[in-house]
Structure 1
Amino acid sequence: MTTILPVAPHRLPGLGHLPYLAWDQVGFYSSLLDLGPVVRIYFGPMEALLLTDPALIHQVLVTEADKFTKGRIFRKTRPFFGNGVATSDGEFHLRQRRLMSPAFHQQRLAGYGEVMRAEVERMTKGWRSGQRIAWEKAMYAVTPHIIGKTLFHSDLGEQAAAEIHRSLPLVLQGAVTRSLNPLPWMPAWTSRRYDVAGRRLDAIIDRILSSYADDDTDRGDLLSMLLNARHDDTGKGMSRQQARDEIMTLLVAGTETAAVSLSWLFLELSQHPEVESQLHTELDTELAGHPITFADLPRLPYLRRVVDETLRLHNPVPMSMRAAQAEVQLGPALARPGTEVVYSPLALHRDPRHHPRPLEFDPDRWARPPAAGTYLPFGGGRHRCIGERFAIAEMMIATATIAAGWRLRLAPGSRVRSAAYTTHHPVSLPMILERR
């Protein structure tokens, strides 16, 4: 280090700061914002540098990204998620990204919008005014169907969607636990629980791949593009294992994070009737009772602000990591090769220096965009989420479709708790449906 860097308080022998991260990850990272632009934290015995300055985060993600690789958490999760576009690095990552990019172009998104709306309408068809539902479970139920029918042209079915809801959080938890665990072992029953969940997800992915077996027809979806693509140098196509890895990546990104974000969004609407009323006015005026389409999205600026504010206050990703592969000066710190670097999008989004009244849900703050680098819901640089536009469209279309006909109210006596070990999500959201 080129200077003495502050160490996060309450470090425990052997465990470092892991107990505090397990208890309140968001609170832990947020509590360190005033200690300096770089703070030393410990995952067990492993030291990492936490960046709290947006300029330093931008340096790692963009201007000097070539000096960094995906961090330990990505390396250690590859046995679970494979070498998909979210976990891969270097030239291989760029090649996979190029193969996948056409599936997220504007023309494709227009067609996806129809599927998104239809799946949400199918979910709401059986609703009754006054009915109580577990809102977070409803969101976990609908998002796998959207991903299946848009990117894989596959009807996953209710059983498969329920299995994704059950197993995906366990697989995420197992992956993160193993990547940050300072001990070389885990209790056998815990390890077995995670492995069984992983096998259940693999069975669903195998079913999707089997439906494409010996069929080189371009169905116009992402999976067709991947399976039919040929590398220029060898003329060979993608292996079944690589296709599996990309499907797993999309299931994680397209179901877990989307479900979590939509869960938070409707909780905030239920707690802020003035925001809900303004949103209803925009939807009623601009859509005039017609079902929303992808072409309508630019005419709904307030809806977009609601989405952006949800992703600011309740970003699903509590932290991300990179590892230095060359010597890099990061403000007061000299990161040597192998140094793990950490940043928390959620803590950054709640930093009062960049976002006044950070814990207040205020879509109107987006009338004037925040300073560059202070809002990173989809990461940045070469690893910026490839499905960003898909995710924004999904949230806007789902919100508009539901809010056009329904209000949701938090069930009386309910106390909302959040957890942020793998994703920042509400533990339980019992909601009462009210027909508009």
Structure 2
Amino acid sequence: MGLLAVVVGFLNDRAPNRSIGAIVAAAFISLVVLAIILNVLSQLLFRNPREPPLVFHWVPFFGNTIVYGIDPYRFFFGSRQKYGDVFTFILLGKKTTVCLGTKGNEFILNGKLKDANAEEIYSPLTTPVFGAGVVYDCPNAKLMEQKKFVKFGLTTEALRSYVPLIAQEVIDFTSRCPAFQGAKGTANITACMAELTLYTASRSLQGKEVREKFDASFADLYHDLDMGFTPINFMLPWAPLPHNRKRDYAQRKMAQTYTEIIQARREAGGEKNSEDMIWNLMSCVYKDGSPIPDVEIAHMMIALLMAGQHSSSSTSAWIILRLATRPDILEELYEEQINFLGADLPPLTFDTLQGLPLNSQVVRETLRMHAPIHSIMRKVKQPLPIPGTSYTIPDSHVLLAAPGVTSNTDEFFPNSSEWEPHRWDAGSDQATANEEDDEKIDYGYGLVTKGASSPYLPFGAGRHRCIGEAFAYVQLGTVTAMMARHFKFRNLDGVKGVVGTDYSSLFSRPLSPAEVQWERRPQGKGEKAFLDRGRTC
């Protein structure tokens, strides 16, 4: 009351030198201070024992948003020490309940559709980017059908055909990219891997026509569309901001490009002559007997490219950055190829890729330490008891799972802060202890491993588990093998360790620029023949 009396007295002061602006400023500051005091008192005096503990915060509405946004994992681990595996924090005015550990992952990621909903969380952000009628802008049953169409398009035979295409893209890119000219030099690996990932994904998944677009204005459109994932769009996805206007224009132009490709293929007639995803979707039919509209195929292509590009580009960048700190592992990768394939290093194939276990372990270990998505959210649909606790989460809350916490915990991965691919060596206690369970479930797009009880979940779990997981491992494995075959990497002189992580987007990635030194290796006879053949195509 003393504070209010001061404010009232100040407002009543009609001294000639007192400006209206100063009065308004003082009143505003006083109200902010009062709001902070009431917010703190409510946390100290009115805790609900039936709900998870609330992470302390000073400012109402903003709550813990800034601390969480700067470094989610530091926030998660710090809160875990104070409050345990289950706690609630304020994220832009929304009470967000975090459930950590394998039990927390299981609870959220394998939650029933009637209890936890992803569409309500992500649709406002993703629909303007992907387009209408796909992913989170449709009933869950339709989404499961769409996932089935895409999943069944990623057959072993399709993946087999992708490896030579991805390998050739790596060769072409590193031959023409200004950052890789000459015998040695430096490169901003985050930018390079982002560009390379677009080429490899578009060529393998979406066909030659789409890949050729990326040498022109299509890449600029992609960049403008990507800006739709900025954090402010969680709150203001439809605001008439400059980056949103560019996003909307880019979405229309990219969708138009895809539909033109589809229509040209239909007009040409004949059977499909490629394993790319566009051909696959053109022949798919929903359960009600209707074919997928061309515009939905276009929107699914945008979603497939956007979602996969972020995770694969960040992971491939982390792989190079980690190898630059461990030249010994990089040389092991090179020797592994020579020992398995021969000194002349013939062209890489899907089958030979399976014979490079350390190469796969490098990908796996990098995904363990650098999960592309740090937070997986669901909207609570009805009061939800948390098993093993006395807590019930109200339907006003959002649920948040963070599988990256378990994969960076010594409980499951001793010395978890060390990047050590050999922890996954065949038969090791570590590899055996962290295998996924064999229980499978069908959410409507084919049997998948339930898997949420595993501490290693870089692709999520449950009905929203990433269907591009098999492709991602093939893409990342091929890129890693080809880069190890052609280059030596090391940190810049005087630099130790790796760069920090950029959490400013929905997808976490290395802070840019992240430069490494590189040196070209000599070409083997088989590889030189492959290069020459590629140049004549």
- State if a TM-score over 0.5 links the two structures: yes
Match of 1:390 among 460, 468, 471: 471
CA shift in 2, pair 1:53/1:64, >3 Å = farther
Q: Distance in 2 between matches of 1:89 and 1:31?
A: 37
- Supply the AA of the counterpart residue of 1:433: W
Higher relative contact order (CA 8 A, sep 6+): 1
Work out the number of aligned pairs and report it.
428
State the partner residue of 1:349. Answer: 407
State the partner residue of 2:168. Answer: 118
State the partner residue of 1:37. Answer: 85
State the partner residue of 2:440. Answer: none
Tell me by how many angstroms 1:108 deviates: 0.7
State the partner residue of 1:424. Answer: 508
State the partner residue of 1:328. Answer: 384
**TM-score for the superposition, normalised by structure 2:** 0.74
> What percentage of aligned pairs have identical amino acids?
21
CA shift in 2, pair 1:85/1:72, >3 Å = closer
2:398 is equivalent to residue 340 of structure 1 = yes
- Supply the AA of the counterpart residue of 1:421: S
Q: Is the 8 A contact 2:116 2:381 kept in 1?
A: yes
**After alignment, is 80-89 or 290-299 more displaced?**
80-89
Q: Distance in 2 between matches of 1:56 and 1:382?
A: 16
The alignment partner of 2:265 has SS state of: coil
Q: Distance in 2 between matches of 1:91 and 1:434?
A: 51
The alignment partner of 2:379 has SS state of: strand
State the partner residue of 1:81. Answer: 130
Q: Is the 8 A contact 1:70 1:88 kept in 2?
A: no
Superposed counterparts of 1:288-307, under 5 Å: 288=342, 289-307=345-363
Gaps of 5+ in 2: 1-47, 435-452, 522-537
Q: Is the 8 A contact 2:105 2:403 kept in 1?
A: no
Match of 1:241 among 289, 292, 295: 295
2:145 is equivalent to residue 95 of structure 1 = yes
Q: Distance in 1 between matches of 2:264 and 2:238?
A: 42
Superposed counterparts of 1:34-73, under 5 Å: 34=81, 35-62=83-110, 64=112, 67-70=115-118, 72-73=120-121
Tell me by how many angstroms 1:139 deviates: 1.1
Match of 2:227 among 170, 179, 204: 170
State the partner residue of 1:150. Answer: 204
Tell me by how many angstroms 1:361 deviates: 0.4
CA shift in 2, pair 1:276/1:11, >3 Å = farther
Tell me by how many angstroms 1:270 deviates: 0.5
Q: Distance in 2 between matches of 1:164 and 1:240?
A: 20
Residues 369-420 of structure 1: CA deviation (Å, up to 9, x unaligned): 3444211100101211111000000001011011112112233356723211
Tell me by how many angstroms 1:337 deviates: 3.6
Q: Is the 8 A contact 1:144 1:254 kept in 2?
A: no
Cα RMSD (Å): 2.5
Superposed counterparts of 1:257-336, under 5 Å: 257-288=311-342, 289-331=345-387, 332=389, 333-336=391-394
Tell me by how many angstroms 1:16 deviates: 1.4
State the partner residue of 2:41. Answer: none
Tell me by how many angstroms 1:253 deviates: 2.0
CA shift in 2, pair 1:307/1:148, >3 Å = same
Q: Distance in 2 between matches of 1:393 and 1:88?
A: 29
Q: Distance in 2 between matches of 1:168 and 1:27?
A: 30
Tell me by how many angstroms 1:256 deviates: 1.6
State the partner residue of 1:26. Answer: 73
- Supply the AA of the counterpart residue of 1:366: W
Q: Distance in 2 between matches of 1:185 and 1:386?
A: 28
2:481 is equivalent to residue 434 of structure 1 = no
Q: Is the 8 A contact 1:2 1:334 kept in 2?
A: no
State the partner residue of 1:210. Answer: 260
Q: Is the 8 A contact 2:145 2:286 kept in 1?
A: no
Residues 31-65 of structure 1: CA deviation (Å, up to 9, x unaligned): 22332121101112210110112112213222645
Q: Distance in 2 between matches of 1:225 and 1:287?
A: 33
Q: Distance in 2 between matches of 1:273 and 1:117?
A: 22
State the partner residue of 2:492. Answer: 411
State the partner residue of 2:246. Answer: 196
- Supply the AA of the counterpart residue of 2:312: A
Q: Is the 8 A contact 2:130 2:303 kept in 1?
A: yes
The alignment partner of 1:22 has SS state of: helix
Tell me by how many angstroms 1:356 deviates: 2.1
- Supply the AA of the counterpart residue of 1:416: V
Tell me by how many angstroms 1:327 deviates: 3.7
State the partner residue of 2:529. Answer: none
Q: Is the 8 A contact 2:314 2:508 kept in 1?
A: yes
CA shift in 2, pair 1:266/1:200, >3 Å = same
CA shift in 2, pair 1:394/1:88, >3 Å = farther
Tell me by how many angstroms 1:305 deviates: 0.9
**TM-score for the superposition, normalised by structure 1:** 0.90
Runs of 4+ that moved beyond 6 A: 183-186
